[in-house]
Amino acid sequence: MPETRAVFFDRDGTLMEEVDYCRDPAHVRAFPGLAAELRKLKDQGWKIIIITNQSGIGRGYFTTEEYQAVQAELERQLGGIIDATYFCPDHPDLPSTRRKPAPGMVEEAARDWDIDLAASWFVGDKSVDVDCGKAAGCRTILVLTGYGQSQAEKIQPDHITPDALAAIELILSSESR
């Protein structure tokens, strides 16, 4: 039975300010204070994994290399503590088992890292994040950053928090009870 716990995070609008189809590392802005909060998760033994749809690649808006440069800058701003990132470049019009809301990337991460999905969380700012987390068997948190405000009335996450910092605090406090 897997014993590793993880917090799966969406990237754009959750860990960094929303930039439509971000292709330039100069536009990356991790939310203030997030690196320190993520460190608290790491210190409690959690894996930190990013799960992100990147249809801009499939749409031809940016290249895989540009995506990777943006991702590297985000990880630098977050203090280099991200354990893994899974991204799906598929165009939304194509069938995909990896593109959120499908749980393929989360299931892949669970196999790669021996993660107990029932003991894990998925944090994101869109219905596809919540639906993906639920489909994978994780507890879910919708953050109100990014697109979260416009999504809040449409979906039923386990929790809603103002941002990823508050989501991390909720996760840590719920685990200490």
Q: How many whole angstroms from its chain centre is CA 30?
A: 13
Looking at residue 37, what is its pLDDT?
A: 97
d(CA 11, CA 122): 11
Could you list the residue range(s) of the whole structural domain that residue 133 is in? 6-175
Contact 37, 77 (CB under 8 A): no
**34 within domain boundaries:** yes
Find all residues with CB under 8 Å of 39, minimum gap 6, and list them. Answer: 79, 81
Question: Which residues form the catalytic set?
Answer: 10, 12
**22 within domain boundaries:** yes
CATH of the domain at 80: 3.40.50.1000
> What is the biggest distance separating any 2 CA atoms in the chain, rounded to whole angstroms?
47
Looking at residue 3, what is its pLDDT?
A: 80
Looking at residue 1, what is its pLDDT?
A: 56
**106 within domain boundaries:** yes
pTM for the full predicted model: 0.97
Number of domains in the chain: 1
**102 within domain boundaries:** yes
**81 within domain boundaries:** yes
**126 within domain boundaries:** yes
**46 within domain boundaries:** yes
Positions in the chain whose pLDDT score sits under 50: none
d(CA 4, CA 49): 12
Placement of tokens 């609008």 in the chain: 13
Q: How many whole angstroms from its chain centre is CA 111?
A: 17
> What SS3 class is residue 110?
helix
**1 within domain boundaries:** no
Looking at residue 2, what is its pLDDT?
A: 61
